[in-house]
Structure 1
């Protein structure tokens, strides 16, 4: 049964003989210095006032009674970020030189540790790296030494502890901080052992503003299992490690794609959590471990495809090339294909005819499909439907052939079509790459290294407009009376674009100066610029001619499948 009341954080909650723990399904400590500074400023403000209190929100916990111990054990369901930060504040006060020794003893004995028998144990028990790092800080207080942090420590704990120490060292009156902390109040919601924390957790996070979908999925899975510690340590922690230091939206993106693969239908991103619960209840019921194992397996595929962590060099290169097109809709298709590839490779499904060479061809065909459609300005919205249906229509016995036949089955007027060579040539001449620097640089790099025995690294090369963005009087003269029209239509087309290591030197120089200068087109080691080194003028006709030359390369690199 729920018990709700308003409490003082220090007198009513932290100063008691309580031990707080963060359950395994909760996310790690994630506050940044911005949140810490905001809390500290509020504490200083309220500490400087004659009276009053500062409300810090709601803390939800579940009591775990132990009749054999004088300690009350509380599992924090909601509020760990605030409690952890307040704990770090007390650690800092204990390590400050100008804090009264009696106060330090009081902070350490009542807010950081409990006396259990003949020894003291810390009150707050966090997760994994967070907990190890907090241990270092609290141990440094009793040993009167600086905490010895290392690379394996929690980055947020270390960063926020150092940040708060720096702030407090500049605060002459620590009693201001003390008074402010003692005036913090909150609404406590306590659950009995028999209460369902999952239901409470969902109701508290109904808006979805505080937690990502991946957080809610993790909590739902682990809260549903009696073996949550092992599930977290053996599977989920490994998944979280894979997404560490990556874009924070990627974990949600993975869950989203996983559900589409499994349900074989498109879903709204806003419905990820609801759809996941339905999927679990319909397919796994009480078999949580099998579900987590499956998610773990697909997460490894995701890391190999999206983060290019594939061990096989040829597959890794194919994934890398496809990723340059920034098309997320292919990810879910390749997750499915990768699973089939693994089943064929380990012999667990003898009906699947898919080897490494065919898998690479499928990735390259997928890349050709996406790139040709980008060049031909075909709406990308249809790609979702194409790749969703593609996997459902694959014949496992004729895997590669069925991929090709399903991608090329659409008519020339169908919005899902695989653009032909003729359509590609027609659009390439006037395709504007004005907002597609990454795409055009990738295309030009591939052309540069096509059929080359020695790969040229172009990471430091930049995109060069041969006819410059800003026309000088000399350029206007060279382009003729129609210079404005030529500049408007052809400036950002592939015929007028190249790569160079001397972009800042070239700027809006005339064509002949760009050609003959040190590091110019004649000196260039890039074969892209060989054609430019052998002509005397640059105009509309030459731009079109060069686009046709580049088209011949493009249609071979990104072939229309036979």
Structure 2
């Protein structure tokens, strides 16, 4: 036992914990978010059903005892109407709460289902059962309704948990996550809900074939079993002891993530009084890494673990080895002097500011932070790198956006370097470059660019950032293989399926990832060929099929050589005209590639081709030229920044 600690153990059944003395459990600010995945949830459920036995003497399902572990709380266990901070055991308590919620919902649905032909006694029994869970286990039993509290309250995802457990009817099915913790909550609840369905529960709980066991009886058996396990409650009243226990838990095999330990260390140093700024800043970081709302579709969130890894490598001096160990070496575990606390506050503020970069990169601000003239193009680069899963570029992209938002990189220059990184990543995927070669280089230049942003003046920073970008491109280009035209043709032929584009959604060639890749190539090469930026911010472009898009698999009309980056209005006017008939419309395009096609009579040659083989040869040759242009763009060792 630690010197000066005040452990008070209590042996309890789970049934004596929920709703006991109108107590409730709070997951404190320094604890990790809900993180149990599928394996943990399956094990939890298996432990419940495996301990339910058929009692031959009583002809019914009966619970059996087992030990669920230790739960550490801050507070005095004998007190009533008190909130307990959960030091250890929050994952189990939250999971138990979700399970009880799913159990209550299934009982309530069974009670209301008129197709079951239940007797009044069964309906009344189910009503009593579901209300017992609600009013004794899930909520405290205050006489005044406004004082009633949920018996488990979590920091991240509490609203989601309330929707899952308490929403009427099927409304809970509409619950959408905004972060990892909320996704885990939804997955756990849905798993329990599915497993507690009549057919699934019958398979889980074996009963003698000659015995009729109702669904309601099985639900009640599950409830009795989940309330039966024994736990040891250790209640601690000393505030000082909490953090010692927290550290001790992790030194004895129950490891938390580095980020959870860093959070705990920050909160130890920056106390909650007089105003809990640390908690608010941490919450802001999580909001910036989440979705804007649950209706954001495929828009991703970034885990806080991944964010801190990127953030630390970009902004901090010590970047080798364990992240938490690096933090301790730089900032310590529990600093009390003013200078150390101020240093930690600046670290947390920097983390919050940097998290906003990820919010902007993922569109939480609808990309409004970017200059309107280049906004759609920057957005296209950011979403393409995400959709094509070029995640290795994330640290580098984040520091470039940081440079832009700190006004040491212009919007046009940001677009140029994002175009370059996207093109470079596509070429790297073509050449099958090993990821380790890229990861170390991306990390190196992320750190160097961040340092360049923080020079003595804006003018100095701007020059340093531009110089660093040019040096970076030389370094990155050195990794690419030296290809001639024959090499490009060979590599493209091996991968040409990934460079097809059709708008026919019912065609086998339709692939959104391929569409993103092809659109990116055509757009980047267009922008690279434009000396003077004259496209209005609201100007729309489309991918034009020179030969009309056919709904046939492996059609030459889907190949990149049959495509052109064209103004939407001109694309609409072209419709399904023959190539030669499109000549007059292409003349009005801002894209130099359109004039090039007119200059070399490509449209006329395609139109006059004698057979499909000749058309395919013409389109293949242009495909090779486009990929060669992309390769040469990626090999370019300097971006012209002004």
Contact 2:18 2:137 in 1 (8 A): yes
- What is the alpha-carbon distance in structure 2 between the residues aligned to residue 520 and residue 505 of structure 1? 19
Moved more, 256-265 or 83-92: 83-92
Q: Secondary structure at the match of 1:380?
A: helix
- What is the alpha-carbon distance in structure 2 between the residues aligned to residue 510 and residue 315 of structure 1? 31
Q: Secondary structure at the match of 1:285?
A: helix
Contact 1:375 1:427 in 2 (8 A): no
Contact 1:365 1:561 in 2 (8 A): yes
- What is the alpha-carbon distance in structure 1 between the residues aligned to residue 161 and residue 28 of structure 2? 16
- Do structure 1's residue 74 and structure 2's residue 84 form an aligned pair? yes
Moved more, 425-434 or 272-281: 425-434
- Do structure 1's residue 561 and structure 2's residue 639 form an aligned pair? yes
- What is the alpha-carbon distance in structure 1 between the residues aligned to residue 522 and residue 16 of structure 2? 67
- What is the alpha-carbon distance in structure 2 between the residues aligned to residue 521 and residue 8 of structure 1? 81
- Do structure 1's residue 239 and structure 2's residue 285 form an aligned pair? yes
Cα deviation per residue 1:125-165 (whole Å; 9 max; x = unaligned)?
4136855576789989xxxx879869789867678667756
Q: Secondary structure at the match of 2:231?
A: strand
- What is the alpha-carbon distance in structure 2 between the residues aligned to residue 549 and residue 138 of structure 1? 55
- Do structure 1's residue 192 and structure 2's residue 217 form an aligned pair? no
Cα deviation per residue 1:89-137 (whole Å; 9 max; x = unaligned)?
4454496344366666765565344455777734614136855576789
Q: Secondary structure at the match of 2:94?
A: helix
Q: Secondary structure at the match of 1:77?
A: strand
Q: Secondary structure at the match of 1:52?
A: coil
Unaligned 5+ residue runs, structure 2? Answer: 56-62, 112-122, 199-214, 292-298, 500-513, 563-574, 587-592
- What is the alpha-carbon distance in structure 1 between the residues aligned to residue 216 and residue 468 of structure 2? 73
Match of 1:21 in 2: 26
Match of 2:552 in 1: 505
Contact 1:129 1:153 in 2 (8 A): no
Q: Secondary structure at the match of 2:73?
A: strand
Unaligned 5+ residue runs, structure 1? Answer: 345-353, 462-497
- What is the alpha-carbon distance in structure 2 between the residues aligned to residue 55 and residue 501 of structure 1? 69
- Do structure 1's residue 286 and structure 2's residue 333 form an aligned pair? no
- What is the alpha-carbon distance in structure 2 between the residues aligned to residue 499 and residue 208 of structure 1? 63
Q: Secondary structure at the match of 2:75?
A: strand
CA distance change for structure 1 residues 534 and 25 in 2, over 3 Å: closer, same or farther?
farther
Contact 2:25 2:152 in 1 (8 A): yes
Cα deviation per residue 1:208-255 (whole Å; 9 max; x = unaligned)?
987554444334433543218733663222322232356565432321
Contact 2:19 2:139 in 1 (8 A): no
- What is the alpha-carbon distance in structure 1 between the residues aligned to residue 252 and residue 604 of structure 2? 61
- How far does residue 22 in structure 1 lie from its aligned partner after superposition? 1.7
1:443 pairs, out of 516, 521, 525, with: 521
2:624 pairs, out of 525, 547, 560, with: 547
CA distance change for structure 1 residues 72 and 402 in 2, over 3 Å: closer, same or farther?
closer
Contact 1:20 1:76 in 2 (8 A): yes
Match of 1:389 in 2: 448
1:302 pairs, out of 354, 358, 372, with: 358
Contact 2:403 2:450 in 1 (8 A): no
Cα deviation per residue 1:489-509 (whole Å; 9 max; x = unaligned)?
xxxxxxxxx998846415267
Match of 2:222 in 1: 177
Contact 1:7 1:187 in 2 (8 A): yes
Q: Secondary structure at the match of 1:457?
A: strand
CA distance change for structure 1 residues 160 and 343 in 2, over 3 Å: closer, same or farther?
closer
- What is the alpha-carbon distance in structure 2 between the residues aligned to residue 262 and residue 179 of structure 1? 53
- Do structure 1's residue 276 and structure 2's residue 354 form an aligned pair? no
- How far does residue 180 in structure 1 lie from its aligned partner after superposition? 0.9
Aligned residues: 499
- What is the alpha-carbon distance in structure 2 between the residues aligned to residue 390 and residue 216 of structure 1? 28
- How far does residue 298 in structure 1 lie from its aligned partner after superposition? 1.0
Cα deviation per residue 1:245-278 (whole Å; 9 max; x = unaligned)?
565654323211211222246445xx22322333
- What is the alpha-carbon distance in structure 1 between the residues aligned to residue 288 and residue 476 of structure 2? 37
- How far does residue 443 in structure 1 lie from its aligned partner after superposition? 0.8
Q: Secondary structure at the match of 2:324?
A: helix
- What is the alpha-carbon distance in structure 1 between the residues aligned to residue 356 and residue 557 of structure 2? 52
